[in-house]
Amino acid sequence: MKLKHHNQIFVGMVLGIVVGMALWWYAESAATSDREMSGAYHTVMWALDLLGPTLFIGALKMIIAPLILASIVAGVTSLPNMAELGSIGWKTLAYYFVTTTIAVIIGLVTVLTLRPGHRDASLQIRADAESKQEALRAQYQGEFGESAVDANGVPRPRYVVWLHGQKRREAGAAAGSFESQLEAISRAEDRTPGEIFTNDIVRPLLMNPFRSLAANPPNALGIIFFSLLMGIACTVVGSPAQPVVRFFQGLNGVMMTITHWLVRISPIAIGCIVAKLVADTGPKVFASLGWYCGAVIGGIFVHIIVLLAICTFLGGVNPIALWRGIREAWMIALSTRSSAATLPVTIANVTENLKVSPKVANFSLPLGATMNMDGTALYEGVAVIFLIQIYGGLDDVLITMTAVTTFLIFITAVLASVGAAAVPDAGLVTMVIVASAVNLPIYYIPLIFAVDAVLDMFRTSTNVLGDSIGAIVVHRLERHRLGDELASQP
């Protein structure tokens, strides 16, 4: 009997968890009995990394830039007129704004009700921080001089980054994502909101398109803006621009074909990605952060119910039909932790299975993958309030949860989610925007690094779900002009 493709992905995931747990267990027991782990273990980990993150996610990322360019030009030029683009555009943006706002509110209510930062395990973390506080300050001043701390006695970000890196090097850990995340966080902390607007929004929009396409990760905002302009210009120019239009329509078809090939091999690749993640993380990390993870995942669960209600009542597609339509994209988002890498599959699922018109999907899905991140927005608020619950009131964290603090967190969480790149861990980096808005020192953020990969799986799959439902809703609202019906029972 041949398993259906989505079941193959599911089996791949389950096998990935089992193999990952076995590897984690092996590494744990080998670490205590025999510090030299066997060569076979390293070979298996290397192979998992090669087949999953390196080859599969790499191949998906390879096609994102040309896909966004081609799909938007093809989408815009297939619209009958500019009024249609305007109408699809504002409805899409309104949907993004409303759903992101709902997500943050759900996150805030969840974290303020469950209070993960006031649970026993968190009280222990706080007590440790309290006892280390004086010693830490003295260490910074001893190591780097008086100026290593500011007037309030708070160590300055660059020294924090340096010291964290140093500690990890001493412990024999390879330099890598940990340092680069902390560095990105400290860079972001020193900037004013005006600088963030100019550097993160205006400049990328106007970047040379060839640079946008070649950047790693691609500059999605810049590609979207340039392809929108190009599509509109092609429509204005009319028949002399037809060869350009046909080229991009052809390119779009070619990218979708490559996507289908990648989807075929996805069960094996997803199994490898999940196995590697579980082997690296293990269940232990949840011991002290279980309530925090529960608050993020619980909030996401409630938000999914809201999204499904919107999909049913506004989009006219019931949850079962939706699940059947986009399950591949959802599972790929869950394992790759990147909305951008999932984008080709999201477009294929939404247009082919749910019959959303490419005129809507080709425009709204690339935009949504870049800007509309419900899961990330929800997470940003929960994470910062969790840290305030734990550390609030320490000498260097003079924050109390007032209505003003909550409002600041609300606004900045929405902005931070729009600014987050659609790649793994991006939400963790933009969280600094929220943290610095309420003066939470960045050296408290690493506490939540350990569980972030798992939470990223949930927020990325929710981001993709939100984008897909957005395309469905906008299609439904525009159906009188588009003329095509959605597949509510595929």
In the complex, the residues that contact ligand ASP under the rule CB under 6 A are: 337-339, 373, 376, 420, 422-427, 456, 459-460, 463
Comparison of 85 and 220: residue with beta carbon closer to ligand ASP: 220
> C-beta of 59: minimal distance to ligand ASP in Å?
17
Comparison of 114 and 373: residue with beta carbon closer to ligand ASP: 373
Distance in angstroms (rounded) separating the CA atoms of residues 433 and 189: 7
What's phi and psi for 210, nearest 5 deg? -70, -35
Residue nearest to ligand ASP (CB): 427
> C-beta of 107: minimal distance to ligand ASP in Å?
12
> C-beta of 428: minimal distance to ligand ASP in Å?
6
Sign of the alpha-carbon torsion through 456, 467, 365, 432: negative
Q: Return the closest-CA partner of residue 369 out of 404, 333, 335.
A: 333
Comparison of 101 and 139: residue with beta carbon closer to ligand ASP: 101
> C-beta of 329: minimal distance to ligand ASP in Å?
12
Comparison of 148 and 182: residue with beta carbon closer to ligand ASP: 182
Comparison of 346 and 362: residue with beta carbon closer to ligand ASP: 346
> C-beta of 337: minimal distance to ligand ASP in Å?
5
Identify the bridge partners of residue 149 per DSSP, sorted by sequence position.
155
- Measured CA to CA in angstroms, residue 416 lies from 249, 426, 436, 451 at distances of 34, 10, 12, 20
User: Which single residue is written with the structure tokens 């569980």?
Assistant: 451
Comparison of 12 and 368: residue with beta carbon closer to ligand ASP: 368
What's phi and psi for 149, nearest 5 deg? -120, 150
Q: Return the closest-CA partner of residue 68 out of 188, 222, 198.
A: 222
> C-beta of 155: minimal distance to ligand ASP in Å?
26
Distance in angstroms (rounded) separating the CA atoms of residues 54 and 231: 33
Q: Return the closest-CA partner of residue 299 out of 211, 401, 382, 197.
A: 382
Comparison of 59 and 254: residue with beta carbon closer to ligand ASP: 59
Quote the radius of gyration of the chain (alpha carbons, Å): 23
Output b/e per residue, 360-370; b: 16+ Cβ within 10 A: bbbbbbbbbbb
> C-beta of 340: minimal distance to ligand ASP in Å?
6
* Number of C-beta neighbours around residue 239 at 10 A: 7
